[in-house]
């Protein structure tokens, strides 16, 4: 039997990361907010985080100019409001390309033009204009000699599917197939462009919490779901949804069209009815997704097709309408602090492996059993039990249980809850789970991490990795 010392095991894991048939991670840069940093600062943030692909929702001149020379690949958008004119007049798309693409390209690395966004659910019924607009944009790119390097596609919502479960039965809505789906897929096939799809397991989860486990939605360890028609086993809802789209395309004989996930994410905050919207769950979803994309291959149905994914979104956007979750998908606050700490690059994942001795993730994703395991002999190295531990809120606890435990910790329990008061250092993110975690940990540390001091009637558990919410640092001891 071959045994590995800890350093050699880490080296082996790193080598596996480097040879994986991995995909790419980009990010959506939405700007429906009045408190965001300047585009120049945003570009510096992207570079600092190692993000080399960004997707925009327009062709803002300041943003495109700031991206010039950055080596960040860019997807720009022709908005739904312009689809009608783009579909009816080649002269319109000629002028649009002249004004919005040519002045910036190639110093700004524009690689995709997203024509419209989720057009099939646009209340203004712009669906009939989509494919003619895509064709006219492409013709304009040909006219100006840039069609070979700039692709044309359109992000489609998962609601374009009639069936998505099980994945093998994936099919498009019948009323869309002949008028728009087939012509669009034909265009994408001819031009070598991928179908862009917006996929949000969060929506499926909150609508079906009785049948979809949170672990399955968050890429955490779970027994998986077996497709009864082909025997493929799915360990994540994300992959199952992707393969439902692949199955729908195959049913129309377009299984050779590639796919890009133009949006996916998980909110760090939500309304009372948005079950699962929390900073811990957002960190778990996005952190595990990044790891899956950068260190894995394709889906069960398409194992050799790398996953190319754009996270949603770069910032929390305070002017977006709708439920609270809509304003809380960002990985960063407008002040550029992280909402939660995850790695976004392969180099970051490699560092995690070294720092955490090969543990799965530096974000809290699953409870750690307590008491902690005794030392284990492994080859030439004795792995000792962890010295530092912290106490965090159990995301599966009810809000009532968390609130009662928080009230006790900050009151009779004597926890130092000053940092989570409004305006204090750990007030953001302003969520019950984040505030509870800070209070529970304060109580736990004040009680010298004694047995039973991190339970709160099932509302908390012990973890061995330093939790982070935004820029807030949890104390290790008092």
Residues involved in catalysis: 118, 263
62 burial type by CB count under 10 A (0-12 exposed, 13-18 middle, 19+ buried): exposed
Distance separating alpha carbons of residues 68 and 210, to the nearest angstrom: 48
| Residue 95: CB atoms within 10 Å | 13
Tokens 């305006």: give the residue: 423
- Is the N-terminal amide bond of 429 cis, ω within 30° of 0? yes
Distance separating alpha carbons of residues 193 and 188, to the nearest angstrom: 5
Contact call for residues 265 and 200 (beta carbons, < 8 A) = yes
Cα first-last separation, the chain: 45
Sheet of 110-115: strands edge to edge? 151-153, 110-115, 73-78, 53-55, 24-28, 308-311, 259-264, 195-198, 155-157
Q: CA 313 from chain center: how many Å?
A: 8
> Which tokens is 111 given?
């690689």
Contact call for residues 35 and 318 (beta carbons, < 8 A) = yes
DSSP SS3 for 164: coil
- Residue of 51, 89, 86 whose CA lies nearest to 70: 51
DSSP 336: S
Contact call for residues 476 and 445 (beta carbons, < 8 A) = yes
Distance separating alpha carbons of residues 341 and 322, to the nearest angstrom: 26
């Amino acid at each position: 039997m071959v045994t590995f010392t800890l350093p050699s095991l880490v080296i082996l894991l790193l080598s596996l990361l480097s040879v994986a048939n991995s995909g790419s991670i980009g990010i959506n840069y939405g700007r429906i907010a009045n408190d965001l940093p300047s585009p120049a600062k945003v570009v510096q943030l992207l570079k600092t985080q190692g993000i080399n692909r960004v997707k925009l929702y327009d062709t803002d001149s300041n943003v495109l100019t700031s991206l010039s020379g950055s080596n960040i690949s860019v997807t720009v958008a022709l908005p739904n409001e312009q689809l009608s004119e783009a579909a009816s007049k080649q002269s319109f798309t000629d002028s649009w390309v002249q004004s919005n693409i040519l002045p910036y390209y190639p110093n700004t690395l524009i690689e995709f033009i997203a024509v419209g966004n989720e057009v099939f659910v646009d209340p203004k019924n712009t669906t009939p204009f989509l494919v003619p607009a895509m064709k006219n944009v492409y013709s304009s790119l040909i006219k100006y000699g840039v069609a070979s390097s700039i692709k044309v596609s359109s992000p489609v919502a998962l609601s374009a599917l009639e069936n998505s479960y099980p994945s093998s039965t994936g099919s498009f809505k019948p009323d869309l197939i002949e008028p728009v789906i087939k012509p669009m897929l034909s265009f994408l096939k001819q031009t070598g462009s991928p179908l862009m799809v917006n996929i949000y397991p969060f929506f499926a989860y909150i609508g079906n919490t009785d049948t979809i486990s949170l672990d399955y939605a968050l890429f955490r360890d779970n027994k998986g779901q077996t497709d009864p028609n082909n025997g493929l086993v799915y360990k994540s809802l994300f992959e199952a949804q992707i393969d439902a789209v692949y199955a729908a395309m195959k049913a129309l004989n377009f299984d050779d069209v590639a796919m890009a996930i133009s949006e996916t994410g998980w909110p760090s905050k939500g309304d009372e009815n948005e079950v699962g919207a929390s900073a811990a769950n957002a960190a778990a979803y996005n952190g595990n997704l990044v790891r899956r994309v950068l260190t894995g291959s394709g889906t069960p149905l398409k194992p050799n097709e790398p996953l190319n994914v754009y996270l949603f979104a770069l910032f929390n956007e305070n002017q977006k309408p709708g439920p609270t979750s809509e304003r809380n998908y960002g990985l960063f606050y407008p002040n550029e602090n992280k909402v939660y700490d995850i790695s976004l690059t392969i180099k970051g994942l490699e560092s995690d492996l070294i720092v955490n001795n090969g543990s799965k993730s530096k974000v809290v994703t699953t409870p750690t059993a307590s008491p902690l395991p005794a030392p284990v002999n492994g080859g030439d190295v004795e792995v000792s039990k962890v010295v530092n531990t912290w106490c965090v809120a159990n995301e599966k606890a009810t809000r009532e249980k968390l609130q009662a435990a928080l009230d006790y910790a900050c009151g009779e329990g004597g926890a130092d809850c000053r940092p989570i008061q409004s305006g204090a250092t750990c007030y953001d993110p302003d969520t019950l789970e984040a505030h509870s975690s800070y209070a529970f940990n304060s109580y736990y540390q004040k009680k010298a991490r004694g047995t039973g001091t991190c339970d709160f009637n099932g509302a908390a558990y012990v973890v061995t990795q330093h939790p982070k919410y935004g820029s807030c640092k949890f104390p290790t001891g008092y």
